C-alpha cells in the first residue's frame, strides 16, 4: 500500500505535526496514497518526521518537515518517485549511529504502525502472544517463561517480574487486580508516554497475559492527566479490543474474561509509588502506607494486586512469542533484555533509544546520541530522575545495568537520562531536583517533609553566596538520615542528587562557599559581568539593553559596568556580538 505517515506523538505535535498533516491531507486528495498518523520512532530531535512508502517495501523518512516542504515532497517523491535526498534522515549512511546499537522490543511498533489501527497491530503480530498463552500455556508456564527471561520491573525498583507474578498468583482470593503504572513524573522522562501514544495495544496485551497468569479479571491503567494524547489512544484501543473480542467475556473462546479501566491521575509525583497509587484509585489522598502487607498479598481494595509499569508490560508479548531465553540473550548477568531511555539535556540526538543492557554510558551518549551539543565537554548525566543521582563523566565507562549503576550512587529508575555539559552547575542541579521532590512530598513523613525543606534551604543559601563551611557535611548528614527514616521511595531517594553531587563535585560546593563563585557561571547572585576593554568597540548595544543604566562610556570607546547598579540580568552578555562581555 502506498502510504504517507506523519509522526503525531506529543513530540511531533509540539513541532508542528498537525499543520504538516493538514497540508498533506489537502495535497493528497486526488492521489492513491493513504495518509496516516504514527507514533514516535525515537528521533524527537528531527521532528516533524514523515515516512513515505511507495508500496514496494522501501520506506523513506523525512525529518524537520514543515508545511512549506509538503508540496515538494508530494510533487517530486510521491508523484514522481524521486526522493529528496537532502531532507532524508534514514537510508544509506544517514543517522546510522542512532539505530546501529539499538535493539527495539518495547519500541518495535512505535513510529512504524498507526497506533489507532487495531488491524495494523494484528498484522504486526499483535495478540498472537495472548492467543498462545490462552490456548497453549498454563498460567504457571507463562510465569515460568517470564521468569526465564530475567525481566526486571522497568519502573525503577527492578524487582524480578516473574517472581512478582508468582507471589500474586499464590495469594489466596478469587478476586485479583492488575494495575499498569503510567504515572510517569520524572523531569526529562517520556518513555511511557511515547509507548502509550505509539503502541497502546502492546501494553494492553501484556496486561491481559499478566492477568491470565495471576488469575485477575480486572485492571486499571493509572495515567497522569497531563498525557491527553496517551489517554485518548488508550480509550480508543480499549474500545477496539472490546469490539474485536480481546476484552470482555470468554476471550478467544478460552473462558478467560478481562476488563481494563483508565484512572487519570492529578499529577502528584508521589502517586508513582504503588501504595499511594492504589490509594488514589480508591478515591483517597495519594499517600504511601507501610509494607507489609505488599500489594501481591493485599493491594487494591484489600485484594491481591500486581503492579507493573508501561515498559514492563510492553515487553511481555514479545517474551511470550519468542521465549524467555531470547530476551535473556540480551543484557548482562544481572540485567537482562533491553532498556528504553529518554535522552534529554545537552546531547545532540534527544529522544528515545532502546538498547541492550550492558552498553556503557559513553556508548549511549557519544555513539547512539551523537555526543554533546556544540561539542562541549561532557560533565555528568542524571539518571533515575529526582530519585536518581548524577554520574560524572569520569565514570562514563560504567555499564548500564542495575548493579553497576547502583554502585555509582544513582539508580536506573524508569529510564530518564539528563545529560549535562561543562556549562552546568552541579549545585544548581541538586537544588533543582531537591526542590521538585520537596514540593512533591506528600508530607506524611517528618524526615521527608521537614528534612528536604532544610536541605533545600541550605542549597539556596549556598547558591546565593551565603554558604557556610559546615553546610556540606550538614547536607550529607541530613541526606543519610532522610534515606533511612522515610516510608516510601520518594523520601528514601530524594537526597540522591545532593549526595552524588557532593560525592563527585565537592569542589563546586567549596567554590560556592569559600570563593563565592559559581565555576559554571550559572548561579546569578555569584556572577560578576565585566567588559574586556580590548574587545569592546563602543557599539553601545549593551548600553541600550541594560535596564538599570549600569553600562557607561563614550560611543566607539571601551565601556565599563558599574557593579553597584548591575542587577546581573545578563542582557548585555546576550546582545554583545564582539565577545567583550565576560562572566566572572
* Per-residue model confidence (pLDDT) at position 29: 84
Distance CA 436, CA 143 (A): 38
The three-state secondary structure class of 418 is strand
Q: Report the pLDDT value the prediction gives residue 91, as an integer from 0 to 100.
A: 55
pLDDT: which is higher, 353 or 91? 353
User: Does the pLDDT of residue 55 top 80, yes or no?
Assistant: no
Asked if residue 156 has pLDDT above 80, the reply is no
Q: How confident is the model at residue 157 (pLDDT cuts 50, 70, 90)?
A: confident
Residues above pLDDT 70, as percent of the chain: 99
Average the pLDDT over 289-296 and give the result. 91
Q: What is the mean pLDDT of residues 261-288?
A: 93
Q: Which residues contact 8 (CB under 8 A, 6 or more apart)?
A: 17, 18, 21, 37, 38, 39
Give the closest residue to 370 by CA, choosing from 348, 343, 345, 350.
348
Give the residue ranges of DSSP H helices in 358-450. Answer: 361-362, 402-407, 426-440, 446
Q: Give the SS3 label for residue 472.
A: helix
Strands 351-356 vs 248-251: parallel, antiparallel or unpaired:
unpaired
Place of cell 525529518: 63
DSSP 545-574: H-TT--EE--TTS--EE-TTT-----HHHH
At 267, the pLDDT band (50, 70, 90 cuts) reads confident
Give the sign of the dihedral formed by CA 368, CA 200, CA 411, CA 520. Answer: positive
Q: What is the mean pLDDT of residues 220-230?
A: 95
- Average the pLDDT over 448-468 and give the result: 95
- H-assigned helices in 378-533: 402-407, 426-440, 446, 452-463, 471-485, 489-493, 496-510
In degrees, to the nearest 5, what angle opens at C-alpha 223 toward C-alphas 284 and 179? 75
Q: Could you give the CA distance from residue 180 to residue 204 in angstroms, rounded to a whole number?
A: 9
Any idea which of 21-35, 465-479, 489-503 has the lowest mean pLDDT?
Answer: 21-35
Rounded CA separation 61/94 (Å): 10
Across the range 208-235, mean pLDDT stands at 97
- Coil, helix or strand at residue 86: helix
Delimit the domains of the chain by residue range: 3-94, 118-328, 338-421, 426-515, 528-583
426-515: what CATH class?
mainly alpha
- E strands, 125-169, where? none
Residue 80 has pLDDT above 70, yes or no: yes
Within 134-201, strands assigned E span: 177-182
pLDDT score at 94: 62
Contact 92, 23 (CB under 8 A): no
pLDDT for position 30: 77
Q: What is the pTM of this model?
A: 0.93
Whether 261 has a pLDDT exceeding 70, the answer reads yes
136-150 pLDDT, tens per residue? Answer: 999 999 999 999 999
Structure confidence at residue 252 (pLDDT)? 95
161 pLDDT more than 60: yes
Is the pLDDT at 412 greater than 90, yes or no? no
What is the topology classification, in CATH, of domain 528-583? Alpha-Beta Plaits (3.30.70)
Write out the H or E segment, with its range, that includes residue 250: strand 248-251
Nearest residue to 91 (alpha-carbon basis) of 45, 63, 60: 60
Q: What whole-number percentage of the chain has pLDDT above 90?
A: 85
Categorize the per-residue pLDDT at 542 as very low, low, confident or very high, splitting at 50, 70 and 90: very high
Convert the pLDDT of each residue in 37-53 to its tens digit: 999 999 999 999 999 98
Domain 118-328 has CATH 3.50.50.100: no
Q: How many CB atoms lie within 10 A of CB 576?
A: 19
Phi, psi of 113 (to 5 degrees): -110, 165
CA distance 522 to 530: 15
- CATH code for the domain defined by 338-421: 3.10.20.600
CA distance 488 to 387: 11
The superfamily CATH assigns to domain 3-94 is: Glutaredoxin (3.40.30.10)
Q: Is 272 a residue whose pLDDT tops 80?
A: yes
**Tell me, what's the pLDDT at 96?**
66
Question: Which 3 state secondary structure label does DSSP give 417?
Answer: strand
Burial 538-573 (b: 16+ CB within 10 A, else e): bbebbbebbeeebbebeeeeebebeeeebebeebbb
Q: What's the pLDDT score for residue 78?
A: 87
The tens digit of pLDDT for each residue in 482-495 reads 999 998 888 889 99
Q: What is the pLDDT of residue 1?
A: 73
Query: Can you name the residues that pair with 306 across neighbouring β-strands?
Result: 178
Amino acid at each position: 500500500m502506498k502510504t504517507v505517515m506523519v509522526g503525531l506523538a506529543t513530540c511531533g505535535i509540539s513541532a508542528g505535526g498537525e499543520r504538516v498533516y493538514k497540508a498533506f491531507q489537502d495535497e493528497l486528495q486526488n492521489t492513491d496514497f493513504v495518509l496516516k498518523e504514527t507514533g514516535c520512532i525515537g528521533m524527537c530531535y528531527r521532528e516533524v518526521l514523515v515516512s513515505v512508502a511507495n508500496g514496494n517495501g522501501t520506506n523513506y523518512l523525512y525529518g524537520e518537515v514543515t508545511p512549506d516542504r509538503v508540496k515538494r515532497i508530494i510533487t517530486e517523491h510521491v508523484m514522481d518517485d524521486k526522493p529528496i535526498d537532502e531532507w532524508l534522515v534514514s537510508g544509506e549512511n544517514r543517522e546510522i549511529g542512532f539505530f546501529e546499537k539499538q535493539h527495539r522490543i518495547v519500541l518495535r511498533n512505535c513510529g512504524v504502525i498507526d497506533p489507532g489501527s487495531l488491524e495494523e497491530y494484528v498484522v504486526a503480530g499483535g495478540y498472537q502472544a495472548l492467543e498462545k498463552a490462552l490456548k497453549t500455556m498454563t498460567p504457571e508456564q507463562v510465569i515460568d517463561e517470564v521468569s526465564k527471561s530475567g525481566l526486571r520491573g522497568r519502573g525503577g525498583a527492578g524487582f524480578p517480574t516473574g517472581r512478582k507474578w508468582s507471589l500474586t498468583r499464590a495469594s489466596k482470593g478469587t478476586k485479583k487486580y492488575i494495575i499498569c503504572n503510567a504515572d510517569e513524573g520524572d523531569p526529562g522522562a517520556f518513555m511511557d508516554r511515547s509507548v502509550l501514544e505509539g503502541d497502546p495495544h502492546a501494553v494492553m496485551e501484556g496486561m491481559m497475559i499478566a492477568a491470565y497468569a495471576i488469575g485477575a479479571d480486572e485492571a486499571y491503567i493509572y495515567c497522569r492527566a497531563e498525557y491527553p494524547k496517551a489517554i485518548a489512544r488508550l480509550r480508543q484501543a480499549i474500545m477496539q479490543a472490546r469490539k474485536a473480542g480481546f476484552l470482555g467475556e470468554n476471550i478467544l473462546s478460552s473462558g478467560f474474561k478481562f476488563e481494563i479501566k483508565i484512572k487519570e491521575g492529578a499529577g502528584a509525583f508521589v502517586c508513582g509509588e504503588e501504595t499511594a497509587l492504589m490509594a488514589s484509585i480508591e478515591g483517597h489522598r495519594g499517600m504511601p502506607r507501610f509494607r507489609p502487607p505488599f500489594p501481591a498479598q493485599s493491594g487494591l481494595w484489600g485484594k491481591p494486586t500486581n503492579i507493573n509499569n508501561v515498559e514492563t508490560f510492553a515487553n511481555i508479548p514479545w517474551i511470550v512469542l519468542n521465549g524467555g531465553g531470547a530476551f535473556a540473550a540480551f543484557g548482562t548477568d544481572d540485567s537482562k533484555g533491553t532498556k528504553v531511555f529518554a535522552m534529554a539535556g545537552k546531547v545532540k540526538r534527544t529522544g528515545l533509544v532502546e538498547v541492550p543492557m550492558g552498553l556503557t554510558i559513553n556508548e549511549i551518549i557519544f555513539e547512539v546520541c551523537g555526543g554533546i551539543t556544540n561539542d562541549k565537554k561532557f560533565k555528568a548525566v542524571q539518571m533515575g530522575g529526582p530519585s536518581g543521582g548524577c554520574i560524572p563523566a569520569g565514570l562514563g565507562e560504567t555499564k548500564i545495568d542495575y548493579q553497576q549503576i547502583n554502585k555509582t550512587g544513582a539508580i536506573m529508575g524508569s529510564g530518564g537520562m539528563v545529560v549535562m555539559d561543562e556549562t552546568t552547575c552541579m549545585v544548581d542541579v541538586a537544588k533543582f531536583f531537591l526542590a521538585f521532590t520537596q514540593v512533591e512530598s506528600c508530607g506524611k513523613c517528618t524526615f521527608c517533609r521537614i528534612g528536604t525543606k532544610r536541605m533545600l534551604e541550605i542549597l539556596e543559601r549556598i547558591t546565593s553566596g551565603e554558604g557556610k563551611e559546615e553546610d556540606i557535611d550538614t547536607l550529607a548528614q541530613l541526606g543519610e538520615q532522610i534515606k533511612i527514616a522515610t516510608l516510601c521511595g520518594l523520601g528514601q531517594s530524594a537526597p540522591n542528587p545532593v549526595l552524588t553531587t557532593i560525592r563527585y563535585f565537592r569542589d563546586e560546593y567549596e567554590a560556592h562557599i569559600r570563593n563565592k563563585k559559581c565555576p559554571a557561571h550559572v548561579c546569578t547572585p555569584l556572577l560578576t559581568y565585566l567588559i574586556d576593554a580590548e574587545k569592546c568597540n563602543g557599539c553601545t548595544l549593551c548600553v541600550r539593553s541594560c535596564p538599570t543604566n549600569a553600562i557607561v562610556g563614550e560611543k566607539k570607546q571601551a565601556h565599563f559596568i558599574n557593579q553597584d547598579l548591575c542587577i546581573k540580568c545578563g542582557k548585555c552578555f546576550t546582545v554583545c556580538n564582539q565577545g567583550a562581555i565576560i562572566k566572572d
